[in-house]
Every structure is written in C-alpha cells, then in structure tokens.
Homo-oligomer: A and B are copies of this chain.
Amino acid sequence: MKSHTAYMTFNTSKRREYINITQNVSEELQKSNINEGMALVSAMHITAGVYVNDAESGFQEDMDNMLEEIAPFGPNYSHHRTGEDNGDAHLKSIVMGNQVVLPITAGKLDLGPWQQIYYAEFDGRRPKRLIIKIIGD
C-alpha cells in the first residue's frame, strides 16, 4: 500500500468563502503515483467544511443563505461565553461536514461530470489548514 500526504493553507479575505480545490487534489494524486484507492480531504479546523458540488456562483449563494438560516452569524450563542464570536461557524461545519472521501480509479479522481471539491471557510481572515491523505496502490 502506498500513501501520500499534503497540506493546504487558506487565508481568505472574507469571513465566509467557498474555494474550488479539485485541481489541487488532482495534482497531489498525480504526485502519489496511486492508481486505485481513496483520497480523504479534511479541514483541520472546527469552523470550516469540505463538500462536493457544483462550481456555480448561484448555488454558492443559495448554500450560504441556507446555512445562514440554519445557523446565522451573530446571535448570542453559548459558545460566545468563551470570548469567541464564531459559534455560527462551528454549527455550519456540523451541518455540512468537515470532510469528503474521493474514489481513485486508473490514477484519476473518479468523479461525475459536475462534481467539484470545495473547501468551505466559515470563519476566515486567518490561516486555516486542510489535509489531503491518499492511500492505495
């Protein structure tokens, strides 16, 4: 079994931002020389997420609106007793999930035609890390 590990760091200019990382994951897969296996893409912070969906700005607006409706920025969350103001970002991460696993077939990400991998920043404007872990043969 082979494995390959890479890290990415984001430092967004906005509090919330959705960043297409499909190309980055593909490049790490090429470096790994793995033909059959799985790639785990996981945020290393608790106020971020990872998802697979459309590279379409309208959808991103809709998703941001939905997450704001479920867990709006601002309210006096219990978590804010710690002095933090990012309670909403933790909750958004729970709803979305902080990771995805991608199938690898014949040396490529085995994704459908519209599937793109995104990092979802819910509390940016500071360095945040993500791990790409690939295992297989």
Contact = CB atoms under 8 A, between A and B. Distances in A.
Interface in A32-77: 36-38, 40, 42-46, 51-54, 56-59, 61-63, 66, 70-71, 77
Interface residues of A, number: 59
Contacts of A87: 58-59, 62
Contacts of A91: 62-63, 66
Contacts of A80: 58
A36 to B, nearest CB: 4
A5 B103 contact: yes
Contacts of A131: 103, 110
Interface of A: 1, 3, 5, 36-38, 40, 42-46, 51-54, 56-59, 61-63, 66, 70-71, 77-82, 87, 90-91, 93-105, 110-112, 114-115, 129, 131, 133, 135-137
A88 to B, nearest CB: 9
Number of copies: 3
A105 B53 contact: no
Nearest to A137: B1
A101 B114 CA distance: 21
Contacts of A45: 112, 114-115
Contacts of A81: 58
